[in-house]
Amino acid sequence: MTPVAAQPAVGHPHWWRLAAYGLLGLPLAMAALPVYVQVGAYYSMLRGVPLAQLGWVLFAARLLDTLQDPLQGHIIDRLRNGIGRWLALGGAVLALAFAGLWQPPAGNLAAAVWLGAMLVLAYSAHSMLNIAYLTWGARLNGGGTQRDSALLPAAAWREGAGLVGMIVASVIPATIMSGDAERIPARMALYSLAFAALLLAALLALLKLAPAWPAVTERAGGWRSTLRRMASNRAFLRLLAPYFLNACSVSLPATLALFFIRDRLHAAPLAGAFLGCYFIAAACGLPLWTALARRIGVLPCWRIGMALAIASFAGAGLLGEGDVLPYFAVCIAAGAALGADLAMPPVLLAELIGTGEAAGAYYGVLTLLGKLALALSGLALPLLAALGYKPGVAGGAALALVYAAVPCLLKLLAMAALWRFHPASMPVVRYWSSP
């Protein structure tokens, strides 16, 4: 693909409008990280839900959530003036479900059932917001001849705000979880209230200050028409395998991070510092990845990010008790690589969607694969239980293998899938604009 010339784009949104668009990434990350990282340890270690039972609940809830994403994307493509009501409904359900997650009833079975119900509600509401949000960003310039000019800066604002939310979500909940067990529900209730307030503010900014919800030039057709168009998009189909493998490589260590820190490193009080360091490194690295993508293209930039992630994480499984400083180094390097994983795939996908096509359906498939990866990562818990691992007991080779070695293998497979592409089969676009 011919690089975009370094000239102003027609109708390019002002930076503050892109910032207003990106703000929603912060509360979405504030909710997503505790749900995907802390909730397993919370119900296992503090509520007594057996590890195998917990793993199957996480898997079932995530799998159910996965199946609804393409449908939600199709509905979003058919929205005209109802986007405000759609976002308001999703925001209200997400705020209530997130607060409910941390207030389970007494008893192992009752807590497990409650967890499943709250996860289904939280996942569904998060999808309502996230798919609409990604679709909004993909359409920012309305499909003009230079519509790609706003994609990378919009993604940078969105993922940058998301990384700030991840930093907040990694430090505060982890600090709460490492404190007095009896006070955790009350403190998480306060965190949930702060999250709800930020979510309301971000939604208002999106609806009132961001570039308007773009008008669709063509009304989305039925399912058959949408599927036919997606199935004929070969470059899109080629993106799915590497994206899914890469998502698996990220979600697996995210599910097991707190178990590894506590039982392998014996450094549970530092869990918040480790996670915070990881996401701060990602936030610092994101502008560098954005600048690199402008120079060499989005696809090569993603490949380099994958290579850095493998190089930084490969030795994590060799760490043991007391290896705090080496693990901080792993967190910094792996976190720096995360920015490429976050920002590049949505921009690549936006470049693969033809003018007038149903962007929501495409992003529904992409989020489906991400959530399927998260669902499969939940099966790591019953796998570890079958291998003899017990939470609270010093972790052995099984925990290190599943936490570190398997993700590196998955990342290598994702890189191999990307390298199979002919250069003309994927967009390699340089961007002049900046956030």
Q: How much is the mean pLDDT over the chain?
A: 79
Q: How many domains does the chain have?
A: 1
Domain membership of residue 222 (yes or no) is yes
Does position 129 have pLDDT exceeding 80, yes or no?
A: yes
Predicted confidence at residue 383, as pLDDT, reads: 82
Q: What are phi and psi of 3, to 5 degrees?
A: -60, 150
Band of pLDDT at residue 422, cut at 50, 70 and 90: low
Comparing 33-37, 89-93, 290-294, 379-383, the range with the smallest average pLDDT is 33-37
Domain membership of residue 59 (yes or no) is yes
Burial class (CB in 10 A: 0-12, 13-18, 19+), 50: middle
Domain membership of residue 390 (yes or no) is yes
Predicted confidence at residue 156, as pLDDT, reads: 77
Predicted confidence at residue 144, as pLDDT, reads: 42
Domain membership of residue 7 (yes or no) is no
Q: What is the CATH number of the domain that holds 129?
A: 1.20.1250.20
**pLDDT tens string 263-274:** 888 888 888 788
Cα dihedral 213, 219, 225, 229 sign: negative
Predicted confidence at residue 423, as pLDDT, reads: 45
Domain membership of residue 268 (yes or no) is yes
CB atoms within 10 A of CB 206: 23
- Going from the C-alpha of 244 to that of each of 2, 253, 267, the distances in angstroms are 28, 15, 31
Which structural domain range is residue 182 located in? 15-425
Predicted confidence at residue 304, as pLDDT, reads: 92
Nearest to 211 by CA among 433, 14, 434, 8: 14
Extract the tokens encoding 84: 């405000």
Domain membership of residue 123 (yes or no) is yes
Between residues 100 and 167, the one the model is more confident about: 100
**pLDDT tens string 169-183:** 877 887 887 777 778
Extract the tokens encoding 33: 């990280």
Band of pLDDT at residue 91, cut at 50, 70 and 90: very high
Identify whether the C-beta of residue 308 lies closer than 8 Å to the C-beta of residue 333.
yes
Does position 249 have pLDDT exceeding 60, yes or no?
A: yes
Predicted confidence at residue 429, as pLDDT, reads: 45
Domain membership of residue 379 (yes or no) is yes
Domain membership of residue 411 (yes or no) is yes
**pLDDT tens string 43-60:** 877 777 887 788 788 888
- Chain centroid to CA 107: 31
Does position 245 have pLDDT exceeding 80, yes or no?
A: yes
pTM of the model: 0.69
Predicted confidence at residue 216, as pLDDT, reads: 56
